[in-house]
Amino acid sequence: MPANALGERAVVVISKDGTTREVALGDVARIDIGQGKPTLHTSGGEANDLAYESLDRMLIGLP
């Protein structure tokens, strides 16, 4: 279930193709913003690279 459907704050990544990915804010260890691509690191050790060219928006802290 998406994090914000539970009323939790989340990081929401919206791609240009309309797909979304939500991660509860409490599960985010850090977000690296680099020249090549942003990377979303979860507290479980997962790292997700996001290509700037496919990224429409990244929203942080929305309930």
| pLDDT tens per residue, range 20-41 | 999 999 999 999 998 889 999 9
Q: Full-prediction pTM beyond 0.85?
A: no
pLDDT band at 57 (very low <50, low <70, confident <90, very high): very high
Domain housing 33: 3-62
Beta bridge partner(s), residue 22: 12
Mean pLDDT of the chain: 88
Largest Cα separation within the chain, whole Å, is 34
Number of domains in the chain: 1
**What was the pLDDT predicted at 59?**
94
Write phi, then psi, for 19 (nearest 5 degrees). Answer: -75, 150
CATH number of the domain that residue 9 is part of: 2.30.30.100
